[in-house]
């Protein structure tokens, strides 16, 4: 806990958390704003604008300021959610989208970590692979969609290949940097203790690389999710992106908004999940 943060009973019986001046962000000229420790009242303040937005949205639809094609009431979005959930459409689409993401991400992540580790440790790999690696990683995944459609059709292969492409390079780059940034002392200690290769990997290489690897994985997962939704919008007969595309074609704004909210929540959940994993695996980084 932050030692310079104290809880004070105010006259109204509410507990307000005080932070010593300048300790929230020690080198900033702006008033200290603690990042984690927040009073309960302040915590509620974050709800103000979403609630205001919701109120404005409700008012606008009640007063019919916009046509139904432009703005549907919040209740309609909720109803649409129940509609596509109960019909089994949304669960089915979500399942297939998540399956694609998971499969592509696992394949790409494993390949990326292996490639990054190879590039970081082997001099031969560096000489022969590095130029090709750095050229290929510049190619934007999204620009490859038309090419991959011609090569792989619009089936499952297309989605998996696209996600592998969008995962492999961020993970490889992160691994490469993680290994490259291991202080030489660590490796020398490993050699001095005459640790076996496996022990060196497990005790030195792996723990020192995990932070970078996890950051890379987080970036890659976010990007892959966006790319997957885009591919499903463009060329798919199943998946959450396709549900939104059909919604758009049928002018069902409510279904499109369900899709936006669901993809957003999932993106948020992925990010949160990997951050949680980071804290669980690397408690020293967050203490």
Partner 1 sequence: MHSAVRVLKSLRGAVIPVLLLGWWEYNAHRDALHAYAFVPLEQVGAAFYELLVSGDLWLDLKGSLLRTSLGLATGVALGIGTGLLMAFSRLALTLINPLYQSVRQVPLLGLTPLIGLWLGNGEPAKVFIIALAAFYPMVLSTYEGLRNVDVRYREVGQVYGLSGIQSFRRVLLPAALPALFAGLQQAVPFAWIVAVAGELLFNVGAGLGNLMMVAETGAHMDVIMVCVAGITVLGTAMSQLVSSVSKHLQPWRQ
Count the site residues for partner 1 by CB under 8 A.
63
Q: How far apart are CA 23 and CA 246, in angstroms?
A: 52
**Is residue 268 part of the contact set for partner 1 (CB under 8 A)?**
yes
| Residue pair 45/30 in contact by the 8 Å Cβ criterion | no
H helix runs in 137-250, sequence order: 145-152, 156-180, 184-192, 197-200, 206-234, 240-249
Question: Mask 91-130, x = binds partner 1 (CB under 8 A)?
Answer: ------------------------------------xxxx
Question: Mask 4-33, x = binds partner 1 (CB under 8 A)?
Answer: ------------------x--x-xxxxx-x
**Is residue 70 part of the contact set for partner 1 (CB under 8 A)?**
yes
Taking CB under 8 A as the criterion, the residue among 76, 104, 263, 278 binding partner 1 is: 263
Instruction: Report the residue number, 30 or 192, with the smaller CB distance to partner 1.
Output: 30
| Smallest separation, CB 35 to partner 1 (Å) | 10
Instruction: Report the residue number, 193 or 268, with the smaller CB distance to partner 1.
Output: 268
User: In Å, how far are 6, 68, 138, 216, 234 from 141, measured between CA atoms?
Assistant: 49, 36, 9, 16, 14
Q: How far apart are CA 143 and CA 90, in angstroms?
A: 28
Kind and range of the H or E run holding 15: strand 15-19
**Binding footprint of partner 1 on the chain (CB under 8 A):** 22, 25, 27-31, 33, 45-50, 52-53, 69-70, 127-132, 135, 138-140, 142-147, 149-151, 222, 225-227, 229-230, 233-234, 241, 244-245, 247-248, 251, 253, 256-257, 259-261, 263-265, 267-268, 271
């Amino acid at each position: 806990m932050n030692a310079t943060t104290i809880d004070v009973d105010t006259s109204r019986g509410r507990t307000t958390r005080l932070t010593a001046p300048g300790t929230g962000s020690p080198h900033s000229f702006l008033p200290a704003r603690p990042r984690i420790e927040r009073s309960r009242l302040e915590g509620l303040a974050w709800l103000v604008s979403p609630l205001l937005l919701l109120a404005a949205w409700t008012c606008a639809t009640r007063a019919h300021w916009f046509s139904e094609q432009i703005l549907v009431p919040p209740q309609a979005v909720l109803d649409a959610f129940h509609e596509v959930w109960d019909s089994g459409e949304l669960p089915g689409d979500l399942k297939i989208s998540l399956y694609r993401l998971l499969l592509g991400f696992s394949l790409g992540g494993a390949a990326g970590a292996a490639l990054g580790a190879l590039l970081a440790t082997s001099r031969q790999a560096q000489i022969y692979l590095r130029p090709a690696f750095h050229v290929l990683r510049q190619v934007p995944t999204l620009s490859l969609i038309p090419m991959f459609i011609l090569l792989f059709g619009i089936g499952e292969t297309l989605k998996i290949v696209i996600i592998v492409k969008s995962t492999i390079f961020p993970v490889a780059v992160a691994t490469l940097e993680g290994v490259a940034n291991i202080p030489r002392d660590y490796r020398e200690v490993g050699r001095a203790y005459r640790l076996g290769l496996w022990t060196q990997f497990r005790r030195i290489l792996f723990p020192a690389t995990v932070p970078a690897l996890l950051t890379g994985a987080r970036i890659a997962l976010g990007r892959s999710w966006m790319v997957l939704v885009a591919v499903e919008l463009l060329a798919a007969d199943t998946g959450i992106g396709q549900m939104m595309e059909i919604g758009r074609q049928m002018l069902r704004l409510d279904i499109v908004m369900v899709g936006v909210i669901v993809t957003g929540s999932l993106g948020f959940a992925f990010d949160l999940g990997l951050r949680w994993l980071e804290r669980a695996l690397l408690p020293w980084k967050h203490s």
